[in-house]
A and B are shown apart, each in its own frame.
Chain A
Amino acid sequence: MIELRNAVKIFEKGTAIEHTALNRLSLHVDSGEFVTILGSNGAGKSTLFNAICGTFLLDSGRVFLDGMDITYMPEHKRSAMIGRVFQDPMKGTAPHMTIEENLSLAYSRRNAKPLSFAPSRRQTALFRERLAEFGMGLEDRMKTKVGLLSGGQRQAVTLLMCTIVPPKLLLLDEHTAALDPATADKVMAITRKAVADDHLTTLMITHNMASALSTGTRTIMMDEGSILLDLSGEEREHTSVDDLLKLYAGSKHRAFDNDRMMLQ
């Protein structure tokens, strides 16, 4: 479904602060897989997402989505196929537009007639139904400006914007990290349901090792721009957080700062 072959990205090339963010990284994710991604700060997790989304072009290597070579496809064309939720709840929505306008923007993105009035009555009914599933009371606040919502509510709206037309790939970039624990659980529950309902191929970055192992079908750990560990199936089921830490420390051959890695 999504595949990267020998992806290389070097920032500030040729300067003193040259930094290899992706180091010949190869990853193949099958359709319907839900991959959780771990790694310390600067491991290249967000760079991996940016490479998939086309925020920048790779220095070398190729990206395939659904069998199509998208290495040089412009960002806005890729994003018709990719849904992405950021850590910052402010990033995914337009604050001065209403909930229904935000959703309509996302809903119409693939098959919009540019000069049709939006949101249409049919769309509004659909949005109301989908928002009601969250149990946050958002369905009665469709004409509220998104800027007035709480962080959790905004993330829920963003998630719906990304999945209301099922994308070929869903990217979640620590999307619950800025929320309080109760809200984070709620948004994770909504995420699991959305992914399960449409069998979405999903990549999720997280700093929470327990949640990385309990969510999804496969876990990878990144370090210095490449993949250190790739766990799935039975091997993953029998892995605990402690095992992960040991594996990480073992393959790095160095003392490992538990606290800094965990960040929880």
Chain B
Amino acid sequence: MKLFIGSLQLGLLYGILALGIYISFRILSIPDLTTEGSFAFGLSVSAAVTASGHPLLALPASLLAGACAGACTGILQTRYRIHPILSGIITTSGLYSINLMVLGGAPNLSLVRAATIFKIVPFLSKNDAMTVLPIFFAVLCTVLIILFYHTHLGMCIRAVGDNEEMVRASSINVDACKVLAFSISNALIALSGAVIAQYQGYADISSSTGILVVGLASVIIGEAVFGKRGITLGFISAIVGSLIYRYIIALATRYSPLDAYMLKLVSAVIVGITLAMPAVKSNFAAARQKRGGAQDD
């Protein structure tokens, strides 16, 4: 039961990260490596602000921090035409120093004594709050982001990812759309990190390593369940995918001989295989066609 609840909580919190990844990976069709930096940025900012006694303020602060990181990558990509992957790497490397600075020069910060959002919810014990708040944040973010992508501005961003050339020929500022999309994406990722820092009661700068693959795995697992349909279902499937991912991980560590440190390898393999599937399928079909053709002769 504890395993079940724990995975639900983590699945929802990392689900917010998956929403952010869905925006860059599926809507813009640009893999965004800023993720690792912005997740740690959210984590650090949240921890630092919480430690100074403002757990609630930590959330908007992290949102803003993530948005800045995303905007930085977006501007490098659009205005200065740096390769998308490279722009993400540049931002992330820069953020590494910034995150250490935010955490006061140390790679981690404990929040054991600090008041976190989970301790200050009225009428709820800390244990209940640790379930209720993740549900609240995940649902709120999903609803808001779905609504946003049904507005005119949201539709412009979708069109940029779908057919950039067409959008350039209409009166929409493609570059501004991309920068905005990266800001929103990384704001969500940072928020995910911010809540997780308070949830865990500590911030560790290394916990963001490999986080992009975790998000991608969630998005891909969600699509395997729901299929690639509209945008509304896409965001919901990202959250569900994140939950399924957490349960897979929980089961894998509990009932298999794998040690916990093997998790990232398992995720990487899952993502690698899933992304390779279309090519494998078409190779397989071509091979079958060749064999079939030989038989007909």
Contact = CB atoms under 8 A, between A and B. Distances in A.
Interface of A: 53, 75-77, 79-80, 84, 86, 90-97, 101-102, 104-106, 108-110, 112-118, 161
B163 A116 contact: no
Contacts of B153: 114-115
Given A76-B173, A94-B158, A97-B159, A116 B152 contact: yes
B155 interface: yes
B170 interface: yes
Contacts of B172: 76, 105, 109
9 closest Cβ pairs, A-B complex: A80-B171, A94-B162, A114-B153, A118-B152, A94-B163, A109-B171, A94-B159, A112-B152, A79-B171
24 contacts: A76-B173, A76-B174, A79-B168, A79-B170, A80-B171, A84-B169, A91-B163, A93-B166, A94-B159, A94-B162, A94-B163, A94-B167, A96-B162, A97-B158, A97-B162, A104-B152, A105-B152, A105-B155, A105-B172, A106-B170, A109-B171, A109-B172, A115-B148, A116-B152
Contacts of B127: none
How many residues of B sit at the interface, in one of the four size bands?
20 to 34
A114 B153 CA distance: 5
B166 A116 contact: no
A114 B149 CA distance: 11
B171 A115 contact: no
A110 B166 contact: no
B191 to A, nearest CB: 20
Interface of B: 148, 150-153, 155-156, 158-159, 162-163, 165-174
Contacts of B170: 76, 79, 105-106, 109, 161
B159 to A, nearest CB: 5
A117 B151 contact: yes
A94 B166 contact: yes
Contacts of A110: 171
Contacts of A77: 171
Given A94-B159, A97-B158, A118 B150 contact: yes
A222 B241 CA distance: 57
A75 B172 CA distance: 9
Given A104-B152, A108-B152, 4 more contacts: A91-B169, A109-B171, A115-B153, A117-B151
Nearest to A53: B169
